[in-house]
Amino acid sequence: MTEQKNQLAALFAACWKDEALKARFMSDPKAVLAEYDMPVPDGMDVKVVENADNCVHITMPAPPSGSMELSDEELSNAAGGILLLTHVD
């Protein structure tokens, strides 16, 4: 997982430097990910959105497979903490 995060960080940095790459990544993320040695499995869709100073995207994880009911312990383990959003002027 760490290597994949490093690969994504390198891709993001490249997109910040290259507007054409960023445009391609936004419009055809699967192709660009494959170019960066992160192929996406067939049947999986990928959407890329960009955060801005006045808009932050939060990804809601898919529910666990199997049961829609979580025990208190499972719910506690799933809650990763608090996300504090601040605005810096």
Residue-number span of the structural domain to which 67 is assigned: 2-78
> What is the rounded CA–CA span in Å between residue 48 and residue 6?
17
Contact 16, 22 (CB under 8 A): yes
Does the residue 83 lie in any domain? Answer: no
Does the residue 37 lie in any domain? Answer: yes
> What is the rounded CA–CA span in Å between residue 80 and residue 85?
15
pLDDT in 10s for each residue of the chain, 89 residues = 688 889 999 999 999 999 999 999 999 999 999 999 999 999 999 999 999 999 999 999 888 776 566 677 766 666 555 555 555 55
pLDDT of residue 24: 98
Does the residue 84 lie in any domain? Answer: no
pLDDT of residue 9: 95
Contact 48, 33 (CB under 8 A): no
Q: What is the pTM of this model?
A: 0.67
Q: How many domains are there within the chain?
A: 1
